[in-house]
Amino acid sequence: MRNPDLAPGVRANERVVLFDAVCKLCHGWSRFLMRHDHAHRFKLATVQSEEGKAILQWCGLPTNEYDTLVLVEGDRYYLRSAAVIRVLIRLPFPWPLGALAWLVPRPLRDFAYDRIARNRYRLFGRYDTCLLPTPDHLGRFLAQPQQGDQS
């Protein structure tokens, strides 16, 4: 989707992935992204952070419920399966093969995404507090999470 203005705190050439930092699945996704994004094409932000909440608001999404992955690219944002696929396309081989998921109609992709998202805490668990990045990952975040950030 397109918004005529840039997301708060995001530069025109930046890509930012918002994720739920207390969700173990989402946290695993962020670690996967940091491990495989050798070119540092993406920055991360937690939906619990002030920056994350401002971006959620810019997208017109709730700031107190987190049920989707959000990818912001300049003045555009992508949700759910579209966000995941757009991220995978920009990672080194073999991850761009995930773009084959575009062949599955969006309603089916998003139906599967929504089922997992709604049950992610039950299926994968959750942390009591937002986990802090390791020192070698600090530059990967849009803003640095503060000790004790909570959902």
CB 144 within 8 A of CB 44: no
The pTM of the full predicted model, rounded to 2 decimals, is 0.81
Residue 134, pLDDT score: 60
pLDDT at 1 (0 to 100): 66
144, pLDDT greater than 70: no
pLDDT averaged over every residue in the chain? 82
Q: What is the pLDDT of residue 118?
A: 84
What pLDDT is attached to residue 146?
A: 46
Give per-residue pLDDT as tens, 31-52: 889 889 989 899 998 888 888 9
User: How much of the chain, in percent, has pLDDT values that exceed 90?
Assistant: 31
Q: Which of 98, 113, 29, 38 is nearest to 46 (CA)?
A: 29
pLDDT level of residue 149 (50, 70, 90 thresholds): very low
Say what the pLDDT of residue 150 is: 43
Point out the least confidently predicted range of 43-47, 49-53, 69-73, 137-141: 137-141
Per residue in 100-118, pLDDT (tens digit) is: 888 899 999 999 988 888 8
Domains in the chain: boundaries: 15-129
Confidence (pLDDT) at 93: 94
Backbone angles phi, psi at 71, to 5 degrees: -115, 125
